[in-house]
């Protein structure tokens, strides 16, 4: 089930960074437990920063809601994520859903580099799922 709110944002940021007041978040709950979530911050009307946490595999409905919020409701052209270069699981997931590597910030991460990834509206697989 899709859920939104501060509790989702705090849950995501417990693993992905620091919670900031008024973060927007969307999550997927299964059997009363959060298994996936995304928080959004620094919205500029063209871009926003996303942080993700996946403790399970959410269904397509979660990803469609993620894309609908980012691109249809807010009108973003792109969504940006920062991923630790050592986080192979997150890098693989992001590439699978359409994110591209945009830049590398050398020695900016906790254990090495930070990879700047971008998901352009035109490359977002989720927007096309609803059309099939």
Number of domains into which the chain is organized = 1
How does 33-66 read in b/e, with b if 16+ C-beta sit within 10 Å? ebbbbbbbbeeeeebbbbbbbbeeebeeebbbbb
For the entire predicted model, the pTM comes to: 0.89
How many CB atoms lie under 10 A from the CB of residue 73? Answer: 10
CATH number at residue 67: 3.40.630.30
* Predicted pLDDT at 40: 96
pLDDT of residue 97: 87
Structure token digits, residue 97: 């859903």
What 3-state DSSP class applies to 129?
helix
Successive 10-residue mean pLDDT values, the chain, 132 residues? 95 90 94 96 95 94 93 95 94 93 96 96 79 52
- pLDDT (0 to 100) of residue 130: 52
Q: Which domain holds residue 93?
A: 2-129
């Amino acid at each position: 089930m899709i859920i939104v709110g501060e509790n989702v944002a705090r849950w995501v940021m417990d693993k992905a960074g620091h919670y900031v007041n008024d973060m927007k978040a969307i999550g997927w709950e299964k059997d009363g437990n959060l298994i996936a979530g995304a928080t959004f911050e620094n919205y500029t009307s063209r871009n926003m920063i996303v942080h993700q946490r996946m403790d399970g595999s959410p269904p397509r409905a979660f990803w469609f809601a993620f894309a609908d919020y980012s691109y249809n409701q807010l009108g973003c052209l792109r969504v940006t994520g920062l991923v630790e270069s050592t986080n192979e699981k997150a890098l693989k997931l992001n590439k699978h859903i359409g994110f591209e590597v945009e830049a590398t910030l050398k020695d900016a991460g906790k254990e090495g580099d930070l990879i700047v990834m971008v998901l352009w509206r035109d490359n977002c697989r989720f927007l096309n799922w609803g059309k099939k």
